[in-house]
Amino acid sequence: MTDDDTFYQGPLGEMAQAQAGSAGMDPADLYLAAISWWSAAVAPAVSVSSWPDAPVTVWTSLVRSDVREGDSLHHLLHRLLNGPGPLAVHNDVTDRKLLSAASHSTRRAGNAGAGTPTFLLTGSPFTSGRGGSRISTSLEGHIRQAWDGRHTLPTRGIGRYRAARRPNPPHFGSLWDLSASEWRGFLSTDAATYSRVLHFARRPAPALRADSTSGSWRHKLATAYGWAFNTRPILTYTTRAVQQWHTIREAERSWDATLPEQYADFFVRIGDHVSRIAGTLAATERTAIHSIHIEAAWSLARRAVLDTARLAAMDRSTVEPVVKHLDDRLFEMSAPEGEASPIRSNAPESEQWQPLGRGTHRNRPQTGSSAVRKLKQWYQDRCQMCAEVLVLPSPRHRYSEAAHIRAREDNGPDIVENLLCLCPTCHVLFDAGARVLADDLTIVDTVTGQSGKRIELHRWHFIDSRYVRHHRQRWAGNDVRLLASAPSAQPKL
């Protein structure tokens, strides 16, 4: 393999190769940026079994060779990926105060139904001064904790938001786009900070070429996004994949033996970076982590190792033998692929939803009145079945009701995955079993047996199919007409 060999995998790989030409970017650079975006977008839902408490976010810094402004990566990714994977972006967050504001606005947008509980840091985390580029020490601390999944983000105010040190902060990722002089600020930061980031030198764009006309990657990503938030998976490894991953973890010890401490510390988390990239790629394909995902992830991690060596002016002759040895061990491994154990889920149990343990914030859904408020704000009180808005001659003006799919008396939880926004008439018909939903969320009239249209879905409303089946079983039994539809409860884009 050469420095630039990249294994493109899944819908993100398809997107990068299809769209890089018109964007004037190297496909591998766009691929890296897309992985960072996507990992942050699905972080509230997806984790990896090797470290289930940590988010799957892949943090990167892409370094330009000069001080030109360069391509606006986050604007490009917003155009390409914000449909299938919505994500808030905050640029040039350089201290705790700005991080607090980003966290606060993300939380408010989520409570108002206008966002998801995750955001992306772009631009630069450094401020320039007489001594060069520096990062705030308080920001460093929050960055380290956030990457590990044990953070409590700062929030505005003292009294009102003291409870904000509550166990449900937004996740965030990073996609820093830096000049070479800005990037040198990492050399003066704590090793615990820069080792949590993968560092890449941007490549010049190849000769301009026409983009692919295929847009299948967009549908695949939309499907994967819906699947992630419906199943909330903890991704497992196949036999070969886990052996490859352990081989990479073992190689981390070689950095300590061959490099000075300052430089070796850049690479102490390569195994964790590989698992996060592999998990992100596997999640786009809705599968466990296979060897092809580990190999694709390693192709990016090895590039980061070699790019970091060049950016930091290390002696590459001490780095390359370790990389070459690891290449040989990974790609010559004779272990069979094997099968992964079933993908475990963080989703609520079908019988009764239980909150996660104290001190854990991952994947905790909003419940009760906050879930109802969010649901109604998403739909602006428009009925998901008949699309009507009930307008009243009162200060409230609009009226709608939150209908439980699995009824409360049957231990149905107060979470958005178990709620529909309905007008009073459709609510009564649904609760009485006159209407049920097929697996693809098509409305079925149980009196006439006729299927109608599919319910309206907001892009962030993911309905748990188990609750749909429970409701249908209660009122329609095993009617084969209702079981024929394939599960496809995906949001409209």
Judge contact between 448 and 434, C-beta under 8 A: no
pLDDT for 212 equals 56
Supply 390's token pair.
Answer: 């009930």
- Whole-number average pLDDT of the chain: 82
User: Does the structure show a pLDDT above 50 at 363?
Assistant: no
Higher pLDDT, 230 or 249: 249
pLDDT for 137 equals 87
pLDDT for 401 equals 94
Q: How many CB atoms lie within 10 A of CB 345?
A: 13
What percentage of the chain reaches a pLDDT higher than 70? Answer: 83
pLDDT for 260 equals 75
Give the CA radius of gyration of the chain: 24
pTM as predicted: 0.78
Q: Which of these ranges, 286-290, 345-349, 458-462, 473-477, has the smallest mean pLDDT?
A: 345-349
Residue type, 102: A
Side-chain half-sphere of 113: how many Cα atoms within 13 Å?
A: 16
Judge contact between 142 and 125, C-beta under 8 A: no
Higher pLDDT, 483 or 388: 388
Q: How much is the average pLDDT of 439-449?
A: 89
User: Does the structure show a pLDDT above 50 at 271?
Assistant: yes
pLDDT for 478 equals 60
Sign of the dihedral defined by the CA atoms of residues 391, 394, 398, 404, in that order: negative
pLDDT tens digit sequence for 178-222: 998 899 898 888 888 889 999 999 988 876 555 555 678 999 999
User: Does the structure show a pLDDT above 50 at 234?
Assistant: yes
Residue-wise over 381-396: b if at least 16 C-beta within 10 A, else e?
bbbbbbeeeeeeeeee
Q: Which of these ranges, 3-7, 25-29, 219-223, 268-272, has the smallest mean pLDDT?
A: 3-7
pLDDT for 333 equals 81
pLDDT for 163 equals 41
